[in-house]
Amino acid sequence: MASLLGDRLFEISGQGPPPQKDFFQLVITKNEVILTSWRISLRLECRGLPPNQQKTSHQDFQNDKTLQYEVGAVFGQRILDYTAALCQGKFDYLERLPDDIMLRIMYCLELKDTALLAQTSRRFKTLFSSEKFWEQTVRNCTGFNRDIEDIASAMGWKSTFLTFFHNSNVCKTSAVVLVTISRPKRLQLTYSGLKACTYTCVRTSDTAVLPTSPETCTSKLQ
């Protein structure tokens, strides 16, 4: 797991709280906490001033109340708590896993659990919103076929899931099956417990329109 830790464990930058306009950068390495500040001022005597840099070990940071106050004042209590946790050796290994491994973990969860996981961090939220995640989700749904794949290449995988599989539990049971797509962009959909329904897509300029639900005919297909 130690291989997941790079030279820099964490880095953030931003402007200090008003009224000062100084710019700050916080870097946490495997051994040090480094807080660098650049003086921002219109005064002539401040021009060309080098940045001020404070370096301390992880152990010393835990006892340096002044530096802790500066970090908290500039970046907030959440960043201060996170910095303190890193200095105590509490590393967030899960957040540092490669995307492909993170996605494999997410694929093993129920979709509702994955949605909850996406609320725990920005990293999981980004992966949950990615087309790569939704592509694998759609491919694992019962009823997925080549026609669905063609639609997804035009609509996007997440939009395809929400259109054809959302609220139908088709990742467990076959509720919606796309049977054919024939010219001129005619869809024939078979719904569980319902007779086959055919929808003709209406072309608007260069974009055809597909159904977003069994009752309507409004989703996108190139």
What local confidence, expressed as pLDDT, does residue 215 receive? Answer: 37
Q: How many CB atoms lie within 10 A of CB 11?
A: 11
Q: Which residue, of 76, 106, 129, is where some domain finishes?
A: 129
Quick one: 57 and 116 in the same domain? Answer: no
Number of domains in the chain: 3
What local confidence, expressed as pLDDT, does residue 167 receive? Answer: 66
Quick one: 180 and 207 in the same domain? Answer: yes
**pLDDT tens digit sequence for 149-179:** 999 999 899 999 988 887 655 444 333 333 3
**pLDDT tens digit sequence for 212-221:** 343 333 333 3
Residue 74 sits in which domain range? 2-93
Quick one: 33 and 72 in the same domain? Answer: yes
> Residue 135: is its pLDDT beyond 90?
yes
Q: Are the C-beta atoms of residues 80 and 70 closer than 8 Å to each other?
A: no
Quick one: 160 and 198 in the same domain? Answer: yes
Own/partner contacts of 92-97, CB < 8 Å, gap of 24 or more, are 93/1, 93/4, 95/121, 95/123, 96/4, 96/5, 97/4
At 207, is the pLDDT very low, low, confident or very high (cuts 50, 70, 90)? very low
Quick one: 115 and 148 in the same domain? Answer: no
For residue 136, is it within any domain? no
**pLDDT tens digit sequence for 71-124:** 999 999 999 999 999 999 998 888 888 899 899 989 888 888 999 989 988 889
Pairing of strands 23-29, 8-15: antiparallel
Quick one: 198 and 162 in the same domain? Answer: yes
What local confidence, expressed as pLDDT, does residue 18 receive? Answer: 82
Quick one: 125 and 145 in the same domain? Answer: no
pLDDT over 70 percentage in the chain: 72
Quick one: 77 and 11 in the same domain? Answer: yes
For residue 47, is it within any domain? yes
Q: Are the C-beta atoms of residues 137 and 171 closer than 8 Å to each other?
A: yes
Quick one: 16 and 88 in the same domain? Answer: yes
Quick one: 89 and 10 in the same domain? Answer: yes
Quick one: 22 and 54 in the same domain? Answer: yes
Query: Sign of torsion, CA 211 212 216 220?
Result: negative
> Is the entire prediction scored with pTM above 0.85?
no
Q: If you average pLDDT over residues 15-41, what whole number do you get?
A: 90
User: DSSP letters along 70-83, please?
Assistant: HHHHHH-HHHHHHH
